[in-house]
Amino acid sequence: MNRLIDGFCRLLDALIAVMLAVMVVLVFGNVVLRYGFNSGITTSDEVSRWLYVWMTFLGAIVALKEHAHLGTDFVVSRLGPAGKKVCLVVGQLLMLYTTWLVFAGSLTQARINWDVHAPVTGMSVALFYGSGVVFAVAAGILLARDLLRALTGRTSERDLVMVQESEDLAQVEALHLDREKTWTT
């Protein structure tokens, strides 16, 4: 299961990179055409906006898998293992509920806008809202997996706090752990 999820996230990383490249080409090309040749790519703004939304939701899936979302552990880090586990389970349940709300709302909007076409590209606007559906399904699977691990005791005490106080602190901690592994081997 972990290899499948890792492969899926690598696929998402590649897809995000392609989307970003397409956005750069569209926006940069449009700017050059507008100012240099008094022309432009008509679909550039709309496609770039849609790609940005999809990139955001797909990136959120990868960040959720890697526990890379920023948060605060001010209270939870001071609790004992049982308190951390309770907070983790409650947090996971709240995130699953929120993910359900995103899923239900996105699916409803996709259904409502199935026959609505975007003004420039003519694509169904349901594709825009589909990003929320894809995110919610993938996030729900990841959250349920983490919740199951916590409930069955397959989570170490260090993993009971699944947020990073800051990106810098997380990088320093990762470097420190890498050094410890090197010294012990």
CA 30 to chain centre: 28
CB 86 within 8 A of CB 80: no
For the chain, the residue count is: 185
In this predicted structure, what is the pLDDT of residue 170? 59
Report mean pLDDT in 10-residue bins for the chain, 185 residues: 85 93 91 84 87 94 85 72 83 93 95 90 89 95 90 72 61 65 58
C-alpha 22/C-alpha 11 separation (Å) is 17
Give the chain's domain count.
1
User: What is the reported pLDDT for 181?
Assistant: 59
At 164 the pLDDT is 59
Which range of residues forms the domain containing residue 29? Answer: 2-184
Closest CA to 133 of 109, 116, 115, 97: 109
